[in-house]
Structure 1
């Protein structure tokens, strides 16, 4: 299920590791084109064609490419300048569990790593018997840094897109063969922040446009890997306070969090602060922290154990919360 295209604007922060291939730099190549999935995926627009929606912070046409550092000896692909977001649906390859998993790729809200943290995750999900939905949300959208203090956008366009996609999935659940009460999210890096945001949003952050927007937008479970934009790093490192834009609700879904302690891009305190806050609110949360692994490894196996163990942990956890993933297949 390899994606057919991708971009070249700044790396999502792949960590240095003992894997030589992970630190090998290749020439960046990009071109103006719209990302399209291969035949296994059905891509669907999120918003009606005639509806004017807010554009990301660029008037450039969509661009796809590859480049930057290799991950597990292979290049990875990304897309940017996304102004018309979509969701791509992949059907399960084994008897279905009626569980659906929406994948939220990372990329610092500048781009989306569409294979490393997108189609390759769907490859795994459909083998678990899940329907997989890959979200191509609007980007870029800058998070401002003023006097070393991060500021969130006033309106988070990726969150609008994720909420819209969740409504569409629940509205058409029977057509997709999924249970509307078994739709979760998995996010990586910036996409993990997006998973947290949709898990705790008290309401939609846009005006409803049709019946799909009357469906609940909160997921039924959430998986976060190496998240960012959650911990307030303006105080002491022992202060695990959340950033002011992070809302925690007691009705947030069961959540699984995984990260490496040596992540050089998003401090492990993002995971710790968020996990503790969920626990304090009475939300079922499970967290696994590993000594090494770095950042932005997706599901590609490398020497660090987190890269091979997290899919097995996720599969087992989904079974324990009643979401019906096949616990024997692991990765």
Structure 2
């Protein structure tokens, strides 16, 4: 018995010393992303400003990818993380990698989406990024077992423009504007839940109390947890209106509107209650499986 204990201790020690699994990067479009004929773009690069404001901006993305980070003690849930940036750039750090770092600690497998920017279609800025989220959901569902996740527990979380993208994905996941590949796409790419954080572009410019026409909540919409600040110039009323539509349809929804926080707080720390938004999301996610 003592010898077995020694062997077990040795195995645990070896496991503790073993290197952590590395993130896996997957191209969404192995044959090249669908772009308009003649489309050209400068090489992908970090965009720096003269005065450093602590935001890492990634621009000119034409080869979108997902990066899958192994979770600590994975619980089978995965979250597709969509940084914001006005559909012009990606705030890849405080709305991307740092969020993934936190999700790993609570057993959630984070998947960082690098979607195409800047805007290809000025009249419909989410159309091309929506292709990327639809394809990303397909790949994750196809390869769920490989990454230790459950295909029916894959959510989406996004900030600002990425929050808008997460809502568009939740509501329009199966409206395709590209030729599908059965090996990479799935019939239903709807995420199992959505977490829009200070989502932008939800309400009419002339009426901040009216959702834009493309935001229509049906009985098929997935559960949602909305995060916003009352003093955000991108009105928190949009998140509140979405909650009310969810309530009308009797679909699980939670909304947190903090009194202060502004826009773009992400993982930045400013000593305000809004900094605890991810704790609220971590408390909410387990309720989804209990409700089944």
For normalisation by structure 2, the TM-score amounts to 0.85
Show the counterpart of 2:226: 257
CA distance in 2, matches of 1:244, 1:70: 38
CA deviations 1:51-76 (Å, max 9, x no partner) are 451169762111213447766xxx22
CA distance in 2, matches of 1:323, 1:47: 36
Which one scores higher on RCO, CA 8 angstroms, separation ≥ 6?
Answer: 1
Q: Count the aligned residue pairs.
A: 269
Counterparts of residues 35-50 of structure 1 (less than 5 Å): 40-48=22-30, 50=31
Show the counterpart of 2:266: 298
Show the counterpart of 1:223: 195
Runs of 5+ in structure 1 lacking a partner?
A: 1-38, 145-150, 325-331
CA distance in 2, matches of 1:103, 1:202: 16
Note if contact 2:33-2:62 (Cα within 8 Å) is conserved in structure 1.
Answer: no
Cα 1:323–1:230 change in 2 (3 A) is: farther
Structure having the higher strand fraction is 1
Structure 1 residue corresponding to 2:236, chosen from 245, 254, 268: 268
Cα 1:59–1:323 change in 2 (3 A) is: farther
Show the counterpart of 1:199: 170
Q: What is the RMSD computed on CA atoms of the aligned residues? A: 2.3
Note if contact 2:33-2:63 (Cα within 8 Å) is conserved in structure 1.
Answer: no
Runs of 5+ in structure 2 lacking a partner?
A: 1-20
Cα 1:215–1:171 change in 2 (3 A) is: farther
Structure having the higher helix fraction is 2
1:248 shift after superposition: 2.1
Show the counterpart of 1:164: 135
Structure 2 residue corresponding to 1:92, chosen from 38, 48, 71: 71
CA distance in 1, matches of 2:204, 2:249: 18
1:127 shift after superposition: 0.4
For normalisation by structure 1, the TM-score amounts to 0.76
Within the alignment, does 1:234 sit opposite 2:206 as a pair? Answer: yes
